[in-house]
Structure 1
């Protein structure tokens, strides 16, 4: 670890620490939002599933805005700091369980803050390295592991507090951690300057920025509030934005010459794998938590585990496999061997194929009451973590490897819009797996096991087909990476 700190540019390690703390609100909402809405805020189960999926999808949609606005009308570091402050405020509002307006406003503020920050953090990290710096992949892998260490801590915390229905305490703790992250970002501010962006070269010298920047934040807040209150519009908007941006980027690629055109097309192809990861993330916050609650024994070795706590095992998988992945990358770098992102993504998809088959297997060997051993979703989530870290850590580093600096914010944003589409799909599937029951007491294991089997077998087949397509195209895509090394 000491060697890692010495070899990395100044500011990288500080960003790993900030990453851990900055995810407190997001991680706790992943673990608790669905049950908080249905158990404390008066939403039906279908409404909670739909709003949860819409909430996280809108969060990723605003990642696109963060990528498009950051580096142009905001510095990445300034926008990230603003996002942390907004999240800290939002968690206090969400903690008011019987105040519908406060919860909705809090969710809108949180989406605005969290939605804008991930693109910024990735871009700050990207800009600390030259385009051909082999340390970038290792830094992103470690950062992804740090992110999931933060998730693990928050999942364990939220799982413990969920057992006592102490939702508001969890939200207040998240707010406090976000305040600490804000202070650390201020301290690290000088290390993460924008490089060669429109903001640093042009816009930072214009006085009009003092009017434009707050206006954009206010518009984003209004936009988020409207879509939180009308989640059905949010779904249509996200899907529309995805296809519009995809068409625009394909046209942009076709206008380029030679190798850069190929690099853009390879990025678009590989970024699609992130939609599967996003779908699984969305399933964790809804369908998988519902499965743990209504279709499993909820105990292991006599210990009762809440759905939020069970989610932490996915993060354990990410951390363990993330460490292994970082070591593999380091060894290959030492041997001057190329690390092909295509290989990592294919390997991650194979992990997903195996993981998706775990639930149907558990249902197949369940007893007459249909209840499944809790070890089944735990094993599934551990394997999912192994797939996620190989796909997401790779995708996050693709922008810096393949895309020119002037386009990096836009392509980072596109990646998150594609992720939003995956999360949206998970909401529909979550409602499918509970038979669209409005009330939780009507959900039974025997009534839903076949629905879960249908879903996960179908996902396994689809993911296997996608992995096969990538495999047969990998040689051609790897030639593009060879030209970028």
Structure 2
């Protein structure tokens, strides 16, 4: 057990006597396996989603990309609501369980409504309904399972970034296996078999979470259990009102998946309202240091749509490019295109332990790069990945598979400098009563990136578009990412100052602990006064 766990006041985390494995609380590894199976289901289904639309429902590429962009963006919008409900009522544990049940229903529904090829009608609407269950379920689960990881550690624990890298490796273990199994079943046996396998994976994740929940040692319980179960005037408790609201949200998501243009407007409105609420609440209630940290977190959040808009070509235009323009033959056998969706998580699994160990080593030496600096390098790498393809694709004939693999290698390294660091930063920089909200906002920004990814993918297609159009678009976004990354590297020192890392472990405001917004501070306490740095 590390010194930071033994000494000094604790701002969160599991009890000091809790069992550890490889230096981390055992609850981390329970969450690792639960998230592994949830990601198995999500990425397995994502690997065949566009193919299912184009090869089974016979969509053309641009409408298929529009559905894909709407679905993936909605998956990241709903965590803002799930994070808020978790903060105020449910607690992350109940939210994760609720989300897992809804996701399982969605996957299994998709597997059961398949109709003959080319037949849309009720079968297509049933498919959209299944996507809607997954969208709402992910809203409850996605932000809150990451919050649970963060709550296992005090805010200044040096193991936090390493813990999120381990957790991220669990995500990508599921993301690696999912396309191999779901993709093989969907493309070669039958689409319903692939989607059914994804549903079984989610059920397994639920089983792990329920059976091993004791490893959390009470972390993630409802903030006010009595409030959650008290009956309201209509005779239902807030908990049951939330469940009924989830059913209503499924119906709304069902309509939105079929009306993709509305999603863009929803993203703009949601972003303005959410950021405005966070700033207003922070200005009114937080001391200067905590307010600065919120500003730093919002800067990181603002970069998220730009990164994911480029990175998330993976499941749409890059997936179709791999299917149509890449030489996938191996010893006389053609590799399913969906299997290339496992290349990125393979690199994440391989590189995550190295990155996790590197951050811990550099942190102990006082030389770890800041989150903003890591983000800048991540943007440069994702841009460089596209240049691997634009320069590696031959003028005529099929692109060698090694080119796509190298592209994913660059993108994977960029992802490790972006996603786990972003998850850790949201839980580190936000105050206790806003952690779920900030995590939800992080995923809201990711939603915007996924929607923009759909727009970029549509620019690569269209009537008469060929491989030249795809490579031209990739070249432009590659230059954009590299230029933006350089700008972020220049700004990184200024953003780091806003984080006040020297006093991060001190709850310099009651809100950083257990007090709920709106409660009065202790008598004589000036809530606008920041504490002095630690000696």
Q: TM-score normalized by structure 2?
A: 0.83
Deviation at 1:193, TM superposition (A): 6.6
Structure 2 spans left out of the alignment, 5+ residues: 1-18, 116-122, 232-236, 506-535
Alignment of 1:312-331 (within 5 A): 312-331=342-361
Q: 1:108 to 1:462 in 2, by over 3 A?
A: same
CA distance in structure 2 between the aligned counterparts of 1:266 and 1:210, rounded to whole angstroms: 34
SS in 2 for 1:33: helix
SS in 1 for 2:345: helix
CA distance in structure 2 between the aligned counterparts of 1:203 and 1:317, rounded to whole angstroms: 45
CA distance in structure 2 between the aligned counterparts of 1:115 and 1:377, rounded to whole angstroms: 32
SS in 1 for 2:466: helix
1:158 touches 1:309 (CA, 8 Å); kept in 2?
A: no
Which residue pairs with 1:141 in the alignment?
165
Which residue pairs with 1:27 in the alignment?
43
Structure index of larger Rg = 2
Which residue pairs with 2:432 in the alignment?
405
Which residue pairs with 1:422 in the alignment?
449
Please say if 1:5 is aligned against 2:27: no
CA distance in structure 2 between the aligned counterparts of 1:121 and 1:223, rounded to whole angstroms: 24
Which residue pairs with 2:62 in the alignment?
46
1:340 touches 1:481 (CA, 8 Å); kept in 2?
A: no
Please say if 1:269 is aligned against 2:299: yes
Deviations 1:388-419 (A, max 9, x none): 11100000001221110111111111111111
Which residue pairs with 1:368 in the alignment?
396
Alignment of 1:7-156 (within 5 A): 7-95=23-111, 96-98=113-115, 99-156=123-180
Please say if 1:468 is aligned against 2:498: no
Deviations 1:131-158 (A, max 9, x none): 1111111111100011001100112223
Which residue pairs with 2:371 in the alignment?
341
Please say if 1:225 is aligned against 2:243: no
Which residue pairs with 2:519 in the alignment?
none
Q: 1:466 to 1:4 in 2, by over 3 A?
A: farther
2:45 touches 2:179 (CA, 8 Å); kept in 1?
A: no
SS in 2 for 1:24: helix
Q: Could you tell which deviates more after superposition, 315-324 or 184-193?
A: 184-193
SS in 2 for 1:164: helix
Deviation at 1:205, TM superposition (A): 5.0
Deviations 1:345-391 (A, max 9, x none): 2222221121121121123xx1434x322222221012111111110
Deviation at 1:206, TM superposition (A): 2.3
CA distance in structure 1 between the aligned counterparts of 2:248 and 2:91, rounded to whole angstroms: 18
Aligned partner of 1:354 among 384, 387, 405? 384
Normalized per residue, which structure has more helix? 1
SS in 1 for 2:109: helix
Deviation at 1:77, TM superposition (A): 0.9
2:128 touches 2:257 (CA, 8 Å); kept in 1?
A: yes
CA distance in structure 2 between the aligned counterparts of 1:284 and 1:415, rounded to whole angstroms: 20
Which residue pairs with 1:383 in the alignment?
410
Q: 1:222 to 1:40 in 2, by over 3 A?
A: same
SS in 2 for 1:72: helix
Deviation at 1:196, TM superposition (A): 8.7
Deviations 1:326-348 (A, max 9, x none): 11023234445545222322222
Deviation at 1:430, TM superposition (A): 1.2
Which residue pairs with 1:172 in the alignment?
196
Q: 1:211 to 1:238 in 2, by over 3 A?
A: same
Q: 1:276 to 1:314 in 2, by over 3 A?
A: farther
SS in 2 for 1:134: coil
SS in 1 for 2:88: coil
Deviations 1:453-484 (A, max 9, x none): 22222212221222122211122222335332
2:90 touches 2:223 (CA, 8 Å); kept in 1?
A: yes
Which residue pairs with 1:394 in the alignment?
421
Which residue pairs with 1:243 in the alignment?
272
Which residue pairs with 1:482 in the alignment?
501
Alignment of 1:185-204 (within 5 A): 185-192=209-216, 199-200=223-224, 203-204=227-228
Deviation at 1:122, TM superposition (A): 0.8
Deviations 1:156-200 (A, max 9, x none): 223323441522112112222221211211123334477698733
Q: 1:291 to 1:481 in 2, by over 3 A?
A: farther
CA distance in structure 1 between the aligned counterparts of 2:390 and 2:20, rounded to whole angstroms: 42
Q: TM-score normalized by structure 1?
A: 0.91
CA distance in structure 2 between the aligned counterparts of 1:132 and 1:60, rounded to whole angstroms: 28
Please say if 1:455 is aligned against 2:473: yes
Which residue pairs with 1:440 in the alignment?
none
SS in 1 for 2:241: helix
1:145 touches 1:322 (CA, 8 Å); kept in 2?
A: yes
The count of aligned residue pairs is 471
